[in-house]
A and B are shown apart, each in its own frame.
Chain A
Amino acid sequence: MALDRRLCRGWVHGVSRAAAGLAALLPLGAAHAAWEFNMPRGVTLISREAYDQHMLMLWWCVGIGVVVFGAMFYSMIRHRRAAGHTAANFHHNTFAEIVWTVIPVVILVLMAIPATRALIVMEDTSESDMTLKVTGHQWKWRYEYLEDGVDFFSSLAPESREAIYSDAYSREHYLLEVDNEVVLPVGRKVRILLTANDVIHAWWVPALGMKKDAIPGFINELWTRIDEPGVYRGQCAELCGKDHGYMPIVVRAVSSEEYAAWVGEHLAARETAAQAALRDWSREELMARGEEVYLTACAACHQQNGRGVPPAFPAITGSPIATGPLDTHLDRVMNGKPGTAMAAFAEQLDDSDLAAVITFQRNALGNAVGDVVQPAAIRAAR
């Protein structure tokens, strides 16, 4: 039943969108964001290089296409038998064949020169002002600001996740919004170190113009210098499993002052959280915090209702681990299960969040073990 409703809504929406889109197409050139044709020009030197190369190549191809297809259509119209044309019998012309071998070579050289120049600039990560280490996880990103000490995980915003099965159009930035945005200062050369924790991912924000794979065990480098403040959205661009489509990237580019303020706030918040982990939490606090953490950290695999998608993603509801001895449960959540998709959360979550989410798993989603886990227990288990 629920599926039917979702289906209907999706289709009705789709059809009405299509109608609106077609209407928007009629006055040619009418700006309608959804009927996007071309690559964005972006806000970095690199994205503009990519765009310029793209447009240059596009026009070369259009030009060649007009000539070649034009000749074909000319002969289709003029050299028809129906038009009374009789066949010539030539099958060879050395001069023509040399010409159409040499001219493409010349064109290719003309294409290769600017491409080479651009590529050399794009791959030069030296003399950067700051370094951001990005680690791909199934299915979230970890960002470490090596100089400023900021370190956090960034996942699909829970609002978007809830909209997947209800109404995608209810979110303006459906699937392109996150819980924690990457904040970068404009005008500074940021060197980005890319790696991955489990499988290969790829970090890509179209407006920044560079895409590179995040490969487990290796570090790839890229750089960016954002010219204009703004929010730039992208996605993982290398198939990385079930939720490959659900690990967005959001970069907020701000002035240097705002960036410094953001770093300060972030560090202060972390200090507050560290302090909070030193005290005992009430059951209600744990359950409330636990639900939030569950939605961002666990629900992608184990589902919002805790039923999972067996066999790859077992249910939490009634699970022998979530309803069994606490030690095993702690160990599984903190250290993961090698060889499966179950990641180790000891590094991803702090003591309070771990305590909260474990408490939540044991006392919600149909489970009712009754015990609570305090941050201190996590600290002891580390």
Chain B
Amino acid sequence: MSAATTHDAHHDDHHHHGPDPGVLRWVFTTNHKDIGTLYLVFSFLMLLLGGVLALGIRAELWSPGLQFVDPDFFNQLTTMHALIMVFGAIMPATVGFANWMIPMMIGAPDMALPRMNNWSFWLLPFAFALLLATFFMEGGAPAAGWTLYPPLVLQGGANLPFAIFAIHLMGISSVMGSINIIVTILNMRAPGMTLLKMPLFVWTWLITAFLLVAAMPVFAGAVTMLLTDKFFGTSFFSAAGGGDPVLFQHIFWFFGHPEVYIMILPSFGIVSQVLPTFSRKPLFGYESMVYATASIAFLSFIVWAHHMFTVGMPLAGELFFMYTTMLIAVPTGVKVFNWAATMWRGSLTFETPMLYAIAFVILFTIGGFSGLMLAIVPSDFQYHDTYFVVAHFHYVLVTGALFGIFAGVFYWLPKWTGNMYDERLGKWHFWLSTIFVNILFFPQHFLGLAGMPRRIPDYAVQFADWNMVSSIGGFGFGLTQLLFAWIVLKCCRGGKQATSEVWDGSDGLEWTLPSPAPYHTFETPPAVR
């Protein structure tokens, strides 16, 4: 850190000032906190939109027969729900956290490449405009599932090239954002902030960003092949020309499996910040947490075909991917045990972030258990493409990734706004969310085991009862999120003044800053012990 980030008194530029007034501030901003806010607000809007689509799905599945939508529109709902939640809600939310928190956690004045940071965000609304516009095109939105498997996806109408280019834009956004995060972490740490002193959230994002830079371009390649197969006569995915539809699945999941860790690792990081704070005890096994995260990231590149055990791979391939997938349980287990050990003999209090973090550990682990079961190929032949899988990945992504995000919002909201949120409402939000989300997704395990395939708009009458329970949970969970919006709004508008430390067990550079954090922070790098 020879190049100090101190101010040169002679140098006159503008960044002593606060933000510009007006709307254009948000369009032109290069400030990491502004951009973090943009990401978070955008992701919440997408969460609501994706949630509305999900409620459309749950309404149709309330009872057998077709009541609200036709089967093709149902397929559009499932496809767009997934694309919006994955690329619009979860990922931008975690990037929002990265923008807000990483510079403050490592003692940097801003992100390393602020202009590119702006572009990373401002590609997203355009990408989603292209994607959402397909709802209004002839033939409607993409309906072949977010996995976009050919040949089905190639039957799509006018939406196909728009969806593909939207994905390209999202990919460019993600790659630029990730490069920025990697560079910030590697190059912008305050003097003394060695890699193994970084907060775990920073570590998880460093590894997430690496996964993104490696995986997103592969996805871009895959959808480009779809485009040329559809419009330019190539035959990557057609046996007639020597290709193979399964080739797409291999490339897609080579991206897709790292993608699921891209969504969950930042939440791992958030939970690893929250648990020590409210246990009033340092994180247990910090270094093994770092190594476990790195191992998970490495393994994520050699397990992809467990998403496609039924495509008819050779036996050796099935065994290889079964074993590597099972191996992931080891580092994941280490993380869960470390979290439990962090709580062990602490001095626990249960503010909303802590409640979400504990629920995360338990419910994510349940998703991990079903993941382990899915790794066992003989029984995966029964689970594959059923609601058991739907239950599994919603436990991992909703009670996992999303609950981690909720924990993070409640944890850092006082630092962002300078006000304490309404703790009573926060607890309401937690209990309503947690109860409803389990009513929503737990019965889906039963549905899958009893034989209900996923992605169907209508089902045999024997599945009716659990589907209705699930739908009740879905509407409850969806409506509860309006409470979340209210809590956040209320906190932005006022509330009890937050102290710098906010939480009495808090530890880390961000808590040395005033609340709300000033527009520019750490222009003089802090000293790190």
Contacts and interface: CB of A to CB of B under 8 A. Distances in A.
A363 B516 CA distance: 76
B246 interface: yes
Contacts of B460: 173-176, 233
A223 B202 CA distance: 50
A174 B378 contact: no
Q: Most chain-A CB neighbours within 10 Å: which of B63, B245, B322, B384?
A: B63
B217 interface: no
B455 A87 contact: no
Interface stretch (A116-124, A142-150, A260-268): A116-124
B377 interface: yes
Contacts of B344: 71, 75, 79
B334 A14 contact: no
Contacts of A38: 446, 449-450
Given A88-B281, A236-B453, A242-B143, 20 more contacts: A10-B63, A35-B465, A53-B378, A75-B343, A76-B358, A96-B341, A100-B333, A115-B377, A119-B377, A122-B381, A123-B318, A164-B66, A198-B151, A200-B152, A212-B311, A213-B312, A215-B311, A216-B245, A242-B71, A244-B456
Contacts of B466: 35-36
Interface string B470-502: 000000000000000000000000000000000
Nearest to B65: A168
Contacts of A119: 315, 318-319, 322, 377-378
A382 interface: no
B326 A80 contact: no
Interface stretch (B19-27, B35-43, B345-353): B345-353
B139 interface: yes
A175 B318 CA distance: 32
Interface string A99-126: 0110011001001100110111011000
Contacts of B315: 119-120, 123
Nearest to B152: A199
B281 A91 contact: yes
B191 interface: no
A337 interface: no
B381 to A, nearest CB: 5
B132 to A, nearest CB: 20
Q: Give 10 closest A-B pairs by Cβ, nearest first.
A: A217-B239, A245-B456, A220-B312, A36-B450, A14-B63, A168-B64, A61-B369, A168-B65, A91-B282, A87-B347
Contacts of A96: 337, 341
B275 to A, nearest CB: 10
B326 A111 contact: yes
Interface stretch (B50-58, B170-178, B359-367, B429-437): B359-367
A72 B240 CA distance: 56
Nearest to B286: A91
B462 interface: yes
Contacts of A200: 149, 151-152, 245
B223 to A, nearest CB: 17
A72 B365 CA distance: 12
Given A18-B468, A69-B362, A165-B66, A239 B455 contact: yes
Interface stretch (A203-211, A317-325, A327-335, A349-357): A203-211
Q: State the majority secondary structure of interface residues on A.
A: mixed
A174 B460 CA distance: 5
A216 B157 CA distance: 21
A79 to B, nearest CB: 5
A234 B64 contact: no
Contact of A239 (B68, B149, B279): B149
A218 B243 CA distance: 10
B5 interface: no
Given A14-B62, A37-B446, A65-B366, A164 B458 contact: yes
A231 interface: no
Nearest to A7: B67
B343 A97 contact: no
B461 A239 contact: no
B239 A312 contact: no
Nearest to A80: B348
A258 B229 CA distance: 48
Given A72-B361, A167-B65, A246-B458, A79 B381 contact: no
A350 B246 CA distance: 33
A86 interface: yes
A57 interface: yes
Interface of B: 62-68, 70-72, 75, 138-139, 143-145, 149, 151-152, 155, 157, 238-240, 244-246, 279-286, 288, 310-312, 315, 318-319, 322-323, 326-327, 329-330, 333-334, 336-338, 340-341, 343-350, 358, 361-362, 365-366, 369-370, 372-373, 376-379, 381-382, 384-386, 446, 449-451, 453-466, 468-469
A54 B373 contact: yes
Nearest to B240: A217
A34 B64 CA distance: 13
A14 B373 CA distance: 32
B529 to A, nearest CB: 16
Contact of B369 (A47, A65, A75, A100): A65
Nearest to B462: A34
Interface string A56-98: 0110010011001101100110011110011111111100110
B465 A72 contact: no
Interface in A239-260: 239-246
B279 A87 contact: yes
Instruction: Output the residue of B62, B284, B336, B465 with the most chain A CB within 10 A.
Output: B465
Contacts of A206: 382, 451
Q: From B244, B283, B327, B451, name the one whose CB has the most chain A CB atoms within 10 angstroms.
A: B451
Contacts of A120: 315
B267 to A, nearest CB: 18
9 contacts: A6-B67, A17-B468, A35-B446, A64-B369, A75-B345, A91-B282, A115-B378, A242-B72, A243-B71
A221 interface: yes
Contacts of B63: 10-11, 13-14, 17, 168
Contact of B326 (A112, A163, A164): A112
A210 B381 contact: yes
A33 interface: yes
Contact of A21 (B65, B157, B457, B465): B465
A80 B340 contact: no
A169 B461 contact: yes
A108 B330 contact: yes
Interface in A15-69: 17-18, 21, 33-40, 46-47, 49-51, 53-54, 57-58, 61, 64-65, 68-69
A238 interface: yes
Contacts of A17: 63, 464-465, 468
A370 interface: no
Contacts of A274: none
A311 B159 CA distance: 13
A118 B348 contact: no
Contacts of A278: none
A226 interface: no
Contacts of A298: none
Contacts of A54: 373, 376, 379, 382, 449
Contact of A209 (B285, B381, B461, B465): B381
B347 A202 contact: no
Contacts of B245: 200, 215-218
Contacts of A75: 340, 343-346, 348
A123 B319 CA distance: 11
A276 interface: no
A245 B71 contact: yes
